[in-house]
Amino acid sequence: MNHWNPDNCAFPSEEETGLPTMRGHAAPPSGSGARQHHGNVQPPRGFGWIEQMVALAVLAVLTAVAVPTFHRMLEGHQLRSAQADYIVALQHARSLAVNEQARMIFCPSHDFLHCSSDGAWNAGWLVGRADSNHPGQVMGTPRYSGDAHRAGLTIAGTGTNYVWFNPDGSASSTFKSLFFCMRDEPGRVLVIRIARLGRVKRDLPNRDDTFTCPASD
């Protein structure tokens, strides 16, 4: 029995078979820096000056449109925030009057210790027990006070320069309205109505209001 020995085997040549033999291609060398190139690959290009000028022009247009809108949105937020601040203060003054069965006063103030008589509501406010002997003034130390708002915000009232809340929650004869507006946009006005029974509510101007917001210089 003959055993197959691979050393004695020879592959047929092209002349014997008539077929081309398979020839391998050498693999690219391994290691760092070895890569295979396929044609002429161009490196990536950056933006040219024309593209940069176009991008800057688009950015300038978007900024010109967005800045006034953002400014108006910011002023609207400040206007609503001031209105909400005064509504909470008025409601709290009324609650104190009912709970303590004493007359409470809500008034404008410059020093947060005494009521001011100039009607400058945007300078700040205070809440305290009303002084029956000195109408329009607080008796003793104020209970609460609020800071001034920004200079461009106008807060003005009608009627007296203060609001009295009686032990039954009514506003006596000092019922009034408070108007809030921005000097940069005098046509945008918010209102707080204080009814004779002491109810406090937010509102918008109506045809009966004579308030005019002062425009900025």
- Out of 11-15, 122-126, 210-214, which region has the weakest mean confidence (pLDDT)? 11-15
Which pLDDT belongs to residue 132?
A: 85
Which pLDDT belongs to residue 14?
A: 54
pLDDT of residue 24 exceeding 60: no
Closest Cα to residue 123, out of 160, 151, 95? 151
- Cβ-Cβ contacts under 8 Å for 76 (sequence gap 6 or more): 188
What CA–CA distances, in Å, run from 39 to 36, 42, 43, 45?
Answer: 10, 10, 13, 18
Q: Which pLDDT band, with edges at 50, 70 and 90, does 4 fall under?
A: very low
pLDDT above 90 as % of the chain: 34
Over residues 169-194, the mean pLDDT reads 86
Evaluated on CA atoms 15, 17, 20, 21, the torsion sign reads: negative
Taking the C-alpha atoms of residue 34 and residue 185, their distance in angstroms, rounded to an integer, is: 69
Which pLDDT belongs to residue 216?
A: 62
Which pLDDT belongs to residue 157?
A: 86
Tell me: the pLDDT tens digits for 59-115? 777 666 665 665 677 777 889 899 999 999 999 999 999 999 999 999 999 999 999
Which pLDDT belongs to residue 188?
A: 87
The token duo for 203 is 């509102």
Q: Which residue has the higher pLDDT, 30 or 124?
A: 124
Q: Which residue has the higher pLDDT, 48 or 98?
A: 98
Taking the C-alpha atoms of residue 174 and residue 162, their distance in angstroms, rounded to an integer, is: 7
pTM over 0.95: no
Taking the C-alpha atoms of residue 182 and residue 114, their distance in angstroms, rounded to an integer, is: 26
